């Protein structure tokens, strides 16, 4: 399989009050098309920084990030912006949506900004609605964003992240603000999207979430301490066993 993402000797240093904080220290990994990778690790270990640096939201201090065959540091800012808009989807723990637009308008907005798919406005709206139907939230299409539940809003954020048919979705604790039931539902939607071919990389503290992925990377102090590979998740029956084996491995990692 083709690598969607290649990260070579990635370093990220923040300087605050003249003090250097080396957050990522020579990180190396590849993500193949179709993978679903979970990043786990203690608070402050650099998980969010890693996600933001490899997705071009933040600049690397040293090293190389190659997305879809292109070294993102060599791109003009307009080229990087269109790759981020067209080929990457983003989901966060805090569900950012514009307050003066309906849920559907929020979902369709990135398609209106994109030149990737030469669809009419009407076709973009239709596609947004088909995503909402797929994720079981079509009934909130015309709602204001503060008239919906957290679980519904996060599913709407997934629709928005999918609207330009990106190659890869980056999600930072996408279920972190949700209760167990909503978290399971949101994770199930992400898993289906992944099974349909979209590569996903997500940060999570939740073993139940990570156990549905194809790989778990454990980060400590800005380094990948270990990786755990799974077969592709097929049914609910395997979940307990996957959680158990992941828990055992995480204990070895010092979780
Ligand atoms: N924008 C920033 N400016 C300065 N320091 C930052 C910034 N973002 C994160 N850090 C620091 O980088 C370290 C790792 O943070 P983060 O990547 O958010 O960890 P995690 O997501 O694993 O909890 C922390 O010490 C944090 O204070
Ligand atoms: Mg974080």
Reported as a pLDDT band with limits 50, 70 and 90, residue 215 is: very high
Task: Judge whether 163 and 117 are in contact, CB under 8 Å.
Answer: no
pLDDT at 118: 86
For 56-73, what is each residue's pLDDT tens digit? 999 999 999 999 999 999
Tokens representing 74 are 């060599």
What is the best residue among 11, 12, 14 to mutate for testing ligand 1's pocket, by most ligand atoms within 8 Å of CB? 14
* Dist. CA 92 → ligand 2 center (Å): 10
What is the best residue among 13, 15, 23 to mutate for testing ligand 1's pocket, by most ligand atoms within 8 Å of CB? 23
For residue 94, pLDDT over 90 is answered with no
Reported as a pLDDT band with limits 50, 70 and 90, residue 210 is: very high
Which residues 6+ apart lie within 8 Å of 67 measured at CB? 4, 5, 54, 55, 56, 83, 87, 88, 168
Q: Please identify, by atom number, the ligand 1 atom nearest to the C-alpha of residue 172.
A: 21
Q: Measuring from each residue's beta carbon to the nearest atom of ligand 1, which residues come in under 6 Å?
A: 14, 16, 21, 23, 41, 43-49
Q: How many C-beta atoms surround the C-beta of residue 57 within 10 A? A: 15
For residue 128, pLDDT over 90 is answered with yes
Q: Which ligand is nearest to the Cα of residue 46, counting in written order? A: 1
Rounded to whole angstroms, how far apart are CA atoms 205 and 189? 18
Task: List the residue whose alpha carbon is closest to atom 4 of ligand 1.
Answer: 14
Give the alpha-carbon dihedral of 115, 119, 125, 126, to 10 degrees.
-140
**Range in 16-20, 28-32, 43-47, 61-65 with the lowest mean pLDDT:** 16-20
Reported as a pLDDT band with limits 50, 70 and 90, residue 95 is: confident
Give the alpha-carbon dihedral of 247, 209, 216, 13, to 10 degrees.
-110
* Dist. CA 24 → ligand 2 center (Å): 13
- Structural domains for the chain: 3-253 (3.40.50.300)
């Amino acid at each position: 399989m083709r690598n969607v993402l290649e990260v070579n000797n990635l370093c990220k240093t923040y300087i605050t009050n003249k003090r250097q904080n080396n957050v990522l220290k020579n990180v190396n990994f590849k993500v193949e098309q179709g993978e679903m990778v979970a990043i786990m690790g203690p608070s402050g270990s650099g998980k969010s920084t890693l996600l933001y640096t490899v997705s071009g939201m933040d600049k690397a201090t040293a090293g190389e990030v190659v997305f879809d065959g292109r070294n993102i540091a060599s791109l003009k800012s307009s080229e990087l912006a269109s790759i981020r808009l067209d080929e990457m989807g983003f989901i966060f723990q805090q569900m950012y949506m514009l307050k003066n637009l309906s849920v559907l308008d929020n979902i369709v907005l990135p398609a209106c900004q994109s030149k990737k798919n030469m669809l009419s406005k009407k076709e973009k709206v239709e596609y947004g609605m088909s995503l909402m139907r797929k994720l079981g939230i079509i009934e909130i299409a015309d709602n204001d964003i503060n008239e919906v539940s957290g679980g519904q809003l996060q599913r709407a954020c997934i629709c928005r992240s999918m609207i330009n048919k990106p190659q890869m979705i980056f999600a930072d604790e996408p279920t972190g603000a949700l209760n167990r039931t909503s978290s399971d539902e949101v994770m199930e939607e992400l898993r289906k999207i992944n099974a349909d071919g979209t590569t996903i990389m997500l940060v999570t503290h939740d073993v139940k979430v990570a156990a549905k992925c194809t790989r778990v990377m454990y980060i400590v102090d800005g380094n990948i301490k270990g990786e755990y590979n799974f077969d592709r998740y097929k049914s609910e029956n395997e979940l307990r066993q996957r959680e158990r084996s992941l828990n055992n491995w995480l204990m070895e990692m010092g979780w």
